[in-house]
C-alpha cells in the first residue's frame, strides 16, 4: 500500500501563520500537522509515501527526511502551486510517480487519530472514501451516500444558498483507490481535465463525474465518533488543538464560551433549554438577512422595548449588552463603598468591591446575620438566587430590608429569579419606589439566549439611571437582541411554560443525582443549576476531567469557592442530557 499526500498549497486562509512556515509544520497538541499524518500512516504499516510539494517545498521535504529517516519518501514539486488547485497536483503525481499498489490519498490540511486510517484499511472494498456525518461548522466537499456507496459528490461551489446538508456526509479527504482505478479511468480523466480544460479546480469533481457516468463505484466508510479535524484557517487550528489536546478541560476553563466549536455536552454554562422555541428561531431565521443589514435602535428605543417586556416604567430601566456591561459602572460608582455580599457568590462581585465583608451561604442564608453585619456597611449585595449555591431569600424580605435601610445601597441580582417561583422585586418597586435599590439581571439564563447578549439594570434612583445612561454608546445592542425584545411579547405563555418545565427537570435531575454512590449531597436550588457535594475520597477536579475525557461532558468544579469539600455545579439541561450525565457519572465514580 502506498500513500500520496497533497501538500503544495500556500495555505492562504491560514495566514498570517503560514507567511513564514509551511502549513503542515504548524503545531497541534505538541505535534506538527504533517507529523500526525505520517504517524497515522506508519502506525498502520504504510511506509511508502509520496508527497506533492509546492510552497516552501524545501522546508517540508527536509523536515520529513530528517524526522523520518527510515521511511521511503518520493517528492513531486508543483511549481505552479500559486495558480493551480489540487487537481493539478494530483495530475502531476500520476504523471511522475509509479503507482505499483493500491493508493491512500490524503490532503495535508487534515489531522486524524490512527483509528481513522485503520477504519479505511479494514474496509473490504478497494475504492473507498472516508466520510463523517455532516455537522454545523464543516465546510468543503460533501457527498450523498446510499447503501454504503457514494452516489454523488458535491464540491463547495455547487452548494448553493438553499442547499440541504441534512442528509449529506462530509468527506475527510482521505481515500483508498485501487491500483487499477488509478491507472485507468481516474488517471485518464484527471490528467486530461487538468491539462486541457481547467487546472484550478478540485479532483473531487472528477470523482463526481465518474460516479455520475457509472464508471466507478466508490464505497463510503462512515466514521462513528473517531477523532479528526480539518485545518483550513487559524480557528480550525484552535479547534483541532482542542480535539487532540490531552488537557482539553484547561482549554474550556480558559475560554468561557465559544463552545459551538467543540463537540462537548455543556453542563457548565447555564441557559433555559426550552426557550426560545422553534417558532421564535424560525421567525428570527426568516428575518436574519434584514437584521444583519440594519443598525439597531438608539438606547431610548431599546429601553422602551425592554420596559414593555418587563411591564415597567421605561424611565427606570436601561437595556444592557449583557448584564456584564454594568459591572464596570458599578465599580466606578460604588467600588470604594464598604460592601456586604454573600460567600460564596458570583465572582464579578468580589472583583468590584475590594473592601467587603461577607454573609455566609452554606447552603442557606441567615437573614439575621445579614441584618447584623449590614450595620457597618454602605452597600449590600443580594444575588437572588445565589450562584453557585441556588439559595434564595424571599423578594418581600429583600424589599423590606431595603425599605428600612434607606441609607444603604442595595444591589439585587435577579439573573435566576424566575426559577424560584418568587416575583421580581421590580413589581414591588413599581408600586412603591425605593431609590436605594439597583436591580441587575442577565437574560441569558431565563431566555436561553447567551449568544445574543441581553440584560438590564433597573432603579428608581434617577441619578443612577442618568449616570449609567450617559455612559451608553449610541448603538448598544445588536439588531438580533432588539428583535428578540420585540417578538418575545408574543411568547410570554411559552416562556412561562419553559420555566415550569425547567423546574420539573431540575427536581427530577436532583433525585437521580442523589442515588449515585459518589454524591454526598444534592442541595435544594432556586435556579436552573444544581450544587452537588461529592463524598470524601472523590476529587471534583478528577471527576470533571474524567467526564470530559471519556464522555465529552463538561462540568464546573467549584470546590475553590468553599472552605472544605469537593463540589460541582451542574446546569439543568434536558431529560435526555440528564440521562447521559447520570450514566456517565456512574461509570466514572
**Cα-flanking dihedrals φ and ψ of residue 358, to 5°?**
-130, 145
**Which helix H or strand E contains 341, and what residues bound it?**
strand 339-343
Q: In angstroms, rounded to a whole number, what is the distance separating the alpha carbons of residues 131 and 137?
A: 15
Reduced 3-state DSSP string for 169-228: EEEEEEEEECHHHHHCHHHHHHHHHHHHHCCCCCHHHHHHHHHHCCCCCCEEEECCCCCE
- Could you read off the pLDDT of 97-149 as tens digits, one per residue? 887 888 899 988 888 888 888 888 988 998 898 988 887 666 777 888 888 88
Q: What is the pLDDT of residue 323?
A: 93
- Could you read off the pLDDT of 423-476 as tens digits, one per residue? 999 999 999 999 999 999 999 999 999 999 999 999 999 999 999 999 999 889
The size of the chain, in residues, is 589
Q: In angstroms, rounded to a whole number, what is the distance separating the alpha carbons of residues 6 and 15?
A: 19
Which triple of cell numbers denotes residue 36? 500526525
Q: What is the pLDDT of residue 137?
A: 66
Mean pLDDT of the chain: 90
Q: What is the mean pLDDT of residues 266-292?
A: 93
**Which helix H or strand E contains 458, and what residues bound it?**
strand 455-459
Q: What is the mean pLDDT of residues 233-241?
A: 83
- pTM over 0.75, yes/no: yes
pLDDT of 507 higher than 70: yes
Which CATH number is 248-272+495-588's, of 3.40.190.10, 1.10.8.10, 3.30.160.250, 3.90.1150.10? 3.90.1150.10
Report how many helices (DSSP H) and strands (DSSP E) the chain contains, helices first.
22, 26
Q: What are the domain boundaries of the chain?
A: 2-242, 248-272+495-588, 297-477
Domain 297-477, second-level architecture: 3-Layer(aba) Sandwich (3.40)
Q: 347 falls in which pLDDT band (50, 70, 90)? A: confident
Q: In angstroms, rounded to a whole number, what is the distance separating the alpha carbons of residues 578 and 121?
A: 37
Query: 2-242 — its CATH code?
Result: 3.90.550.10
Q: Which of 258-262, 276-280, 411-415 has the lowest mean pLDDT?
A: 258-262
Amino acid at each position: 500500500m502506498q500513500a500520496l499526500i497533497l501538500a503544495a498549497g500556500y495555505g492562504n486562509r491560514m495566514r498570517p501563520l503560514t507567511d513564514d512556515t509551511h502549513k503542515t509544520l504548524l503545531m497541534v497538541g505538541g505535534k506538527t500537522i504533517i507529523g500526525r499524518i505520517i504517524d497515522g500512516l506508519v502506525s498502520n504499516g504504510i511506509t511508502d509515501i509520496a508527497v506533492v510539494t509546492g510552497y516552501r517545498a524545501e522546508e517540508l521535504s527536509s523536515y520529513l527526511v530528517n524526522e523520518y529517516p527510515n521511511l521511503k519518501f518520493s517528492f513531486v514539486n508543483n511549481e505552479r502551486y500559486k495558480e493551480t488547485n489540487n487537481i493539478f497536483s494530483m495530475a502531476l503525481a500520476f504523471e511522475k510517480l509509479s503507482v505499483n499498489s493500491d493508493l491512500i490519498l490524503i490532503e495535508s490540511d487534515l489531522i486524524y487519530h490512527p483509528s481513522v486510517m485503520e477504519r479505511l484499511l479494514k474496509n473490504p472494498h478497494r475504492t473507498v472514501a472516508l466520510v463523517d456525518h455532516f455537522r454545523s461548522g464543516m465546510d468543503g466537499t460533501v457527498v450523498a451516500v446510499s447503501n454504503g456507496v457514494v452516489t454523488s459528490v458535491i464540491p463547495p461551489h455547487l452548494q448553493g444558498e438553499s442547499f440541504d446538508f441534512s442528509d449529506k456526509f462530509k468527506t475527510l479527504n482521505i481515500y483508498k483507490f485501487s491500483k487499477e482505478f488509478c491507472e485507468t479511468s481516474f488517471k485518464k480523466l484527471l490528467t486530461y481535465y487538468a491539462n486541457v480544460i481547467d487546472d484550478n479546480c478540485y479532483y473531487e469533481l472528477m470523482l463526481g463525474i465518474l460516479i455520475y457516468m457509472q464508471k466507478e463505484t466508490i464505497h463510503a466508510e462512515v466514521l462513528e465518533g473517531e477523532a479528526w479535524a480539518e485545518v483550513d484557517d487559524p480557528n480550525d487550528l484552535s479547534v483541532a488543538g482542542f480535539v487532540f489536546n490531552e488537557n482539553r478541560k484547561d482549554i474550556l476553563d480558559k475560554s468561557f464560551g465559544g463552545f459551538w466549536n467543540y463537540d462537548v455536552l455543556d453542563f457548565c454554562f447555564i441557559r433555559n433549554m426550552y426557550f426560545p422555541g422553534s417558532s421564535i428561531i424560525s421567525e428570527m431565521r426568516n428575518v436574519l438577512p434584514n437584521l444583519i443589514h440594519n443598525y439597531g435602535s438608539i438606547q431610548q428605543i431599546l429601553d422602551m422595548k425592554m420596559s414593555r417586556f418587563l411591564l415597567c416604567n421605561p424611565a427606570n430601566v436601561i437595556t444592557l449588552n449583557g448584564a456584564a456591561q454594568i459591572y464596570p459602572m458599578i465599580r466606578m460608582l460604588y467600588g470604594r463603598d464598604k460592601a456586604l455580599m454573600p460567600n460564596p457568590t458570583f465572582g464579578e462581585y468580589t472583583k468590584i468591591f475590594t473592601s467587603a465583608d461577607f454573609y455566609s451561604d452554606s447552603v442557606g442564608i441567615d437573614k439575621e446575620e445579614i441584618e447584623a453585619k449590614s450595620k457597618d456597611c454602605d452597600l449590600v449585595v443580594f444575588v437572588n438566587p445565589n450562584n453557585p449555591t441556588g439559595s434564595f431569600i424571599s423578594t418581600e424580605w429583600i424589599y423590606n430590608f431595603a425599605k428600612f435601610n434607606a441609607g444603604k445601597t442595595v444591589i439585587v441580582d435577579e439573573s435566576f429569579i424566575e426559577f424560584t417561583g418568587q416575583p421580581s422585586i421590580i413589581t414591588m418597586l413599581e408600586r412603591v419606589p425605593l431609590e436605594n435599590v439597583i436591580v441587575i439581571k442577565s437574560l441569558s439564563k431565563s431566555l436561553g439566549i447567551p449568544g445574543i447578549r441581553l440584560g438590564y439594570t433597573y432603579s428608581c434612583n434617577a441619578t443612577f439611571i442618568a449616570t449609567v445612561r450617559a455612559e451608553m454608546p449610541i448603538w448598544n445592542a445588536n439588531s438580533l437582541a432588539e428583535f428578540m425584545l420585540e417578538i418575545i411579547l408574543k411568547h410570554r405563555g411559552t416562556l412561562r411554560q419553559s420555566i415550569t418545565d425547567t423546574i420539573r427537570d431540575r427536581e427530577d435531575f436532583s433525585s437521580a443525582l442523589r442515588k449515585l454512590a459518589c454524591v454526598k449531597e444534592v442541595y435544594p436550588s432556586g435556579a436552573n443549576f444544581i450544587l452537588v457535594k461529592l463524598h470524601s475520597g472523590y476529587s471534583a477536579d478528577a471527576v470533571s476531567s474524567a467526564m470530559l475525557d471519556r464522555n465529552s461532558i463538561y462540568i464546573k468544579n467549584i470546590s475553590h469557592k468553599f472552605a472544605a469539600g469537593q463540589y460541582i455545579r451542574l446546569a439543568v439541561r434536558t431529560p435526555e442530557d440528564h440521562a447521559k450525565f447520570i450514566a456517565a457519572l456512574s461509570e466514572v465514580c
